[in-house]
A and B are shown apart, each in its own frame.
Chain A
């Protein structure tokens, strides 16, 4: 009786898992097919033989590596800047007291409520006035310090950095920024790794804002390159699909490495807030 119930439970879990990963399977199947094969009905359910041919055409027709590098550049730069500014601010909020701290923190939390889409048009106009339209600056700079990250680091810093350690550091003659860099930053590493992964994934997958900002194809990030590949003159569909596969793989590999800790942190973050 008990055992059959367990079998049922497992069956449910496995069916759900299959649905979760099926689109990835389907993407790979289609990436191994020619365009007419993709368009055929009934669809081909098993792998074909044209994977390398399709991938080759992706590299021939768009500058895939450039898009990949653009994406890496934007994502890595954003991540580093976010980690630096957020950890510095979060740690300061956690470990120091100064006039107006409470109010400043309330303001910070309140800004999380402001929806980004509200200011889509004016933000664009501001970027245009700065001459940043078409440039990576517009993708990186506005987001390089964010309320969520500061909140997250503050929570972690409060629990994990012993005030005695900071006092000892002060006695040893460490200044404010040395205390941060030499003593606190190493302790914050677990929180930083989550925030870093979170920022990196977000920057990698960002679509609407780069879609508005970027214009020169040589500056496209992967998502924009992919959407434009899938755009109006796309007749070579197997190429589109192969490009999609290539754009998805790097992030998934990265995710698989960090997934265990990352998922726990997501859950913990939700429960805390």
Chain B
């Protein structure tokens, strides 16, 4: 379509043509390099970029997967924004993220500090032990924790009765389910984050601490003045990765309480909601819209996190 328009312009631009020729021969010369890096770009175009564009298109369609696709305007988005369950899923995801991330990173810092103490022996052994949960499959973890949090035969309830307390029906309450999911996340990721913090701690030059000691700074002062500022980029990294991970929690609640998220939908996270609406209820167009909703949320939270962690630094 654009060809006839472009052609008359060509003669007026002799210089770019030769540059183009040069460039194309340059490119030809490096064809092997391009070939070597091409698989990633081809795969990304087909399985990454195209689905994202396609999902934009799908999100404006009404489609159950079997019948014909019909244009639906912004109805999917309107439904999403007015669906109490969507907002419940958003709230649940945020709550689980808060319940899990804060204790997780805090515990990871403590473990890293303990491991960093100069006298600790068997450091490798401890690191492996703490890291082990991270390579265990989520499905397996969820099955094991479901027996720990069980209403009827759970280990946790047994421990409560040992202390003379009444057993709690964890999996019959919103907060109980969220707690169980959070505990799983914490258990799985403390070691991972601790290992990263430990590497960060070890990269802080000990000269800084020695200088502080000479200046008469206490251990706590050194912690806030030297350790935290030096760890900040690493803390930012862990906060961002846990945000992205936290927004995508799916397996734990799905295996623990099923596709509906259990009692009062306490375990209904955004990804679980997306999965249920798209692949169980077969609203494919709607599922794509929820995907975009999720994308916006993740972007917002990543920015927010970044601001918070950066902001603390400038104080």
* A interface residues, Cβ below 8 angstroms from B: 6, 9-10, 12-13, 16-17, 19-21, 23-24, 26-27, 30, 38-43, 85-86, 88-89, 91-93, 96, 98-99, 104, 107-108, 111, 114-115, 117-126, 141-142, 144-147, 150, 176-177, 180, 201, 204-205, 207-208, 212, 222-223, 226-227, 230, 240-241, 244, 247-248, 251-252, 255-256, 259-260, 263-264, 266-268, 270-271, 273
A-B contact count (CB 8 A): 252
Q: 1/0 contact trace for B275-305 toward A, CB 8 Å?
A: 1001100001001100110110010000000
* B interface residues, Cβ below 8 angstroms from A: 23, 26-27, 30, 32-34, 36-37, 39-41, 43-44, 46-48, 50-52, 54-55, 58, 107, 110-111, 114-115, 117, 119-120, 124, 126-133, 135-141, 143-145, 147-148, 152-155, 157-158, 161, 187, 190-192, 195-196, 198-200, 203, 234, 237-238, 244, 247-248, 250-251, 255, 271, 274-275, 278-279, 284, 287-288, 291-292, 294-295, 298
Collect the chain A residues with CB atoms within 8 Å of residue B23's CB: 99
> Nearest chain B CB to A101's CB is how many angstroms away?
8
Collect the chain B residues with CB atoms within 8 Å of residue A115's CB: 244, 247-248, 294-295, 298
Residue of chain B at shortest CB distance from A264: B199
Collect the chain A residues with CB atoms within 8 Å of residue B39's CB: 85, 88-89, 144-145
Collect the chain A residues with CB atoms within 8 Å of residue B140's CB: 27, 226, 244, 247-248
Collect the chain B residues with CB atoms within 8 Å of residue A23's CB: 133, 141, 144-145, 148, 187
Collect the chain B residues with CB atoms within 8 Å of residue A86's CB: 40
Q: How far, in whole Å, are A125 and B58 apart by their CA atoms in the complex?
A: 10
Residue of chain A at shortest CB distance from B194: A16
Known: A117-B248, A205-B137. A93 touches B37 (CB 8 A): yes
20 new A-B contacts at CB < 8 Å, known A23-B187, A147-B40, A251-B136: A6-B119, A23-B148, A30-B147, A41-B152, A85-B39, A89-B36, A115-B244, A117-B294, A118-B55, A122-B52, A123-B47, A125-B54, A141-B47, A146-B40, A227-B255, A244-B139, A251-B135, A264-B199, A267-B196, A267-B199
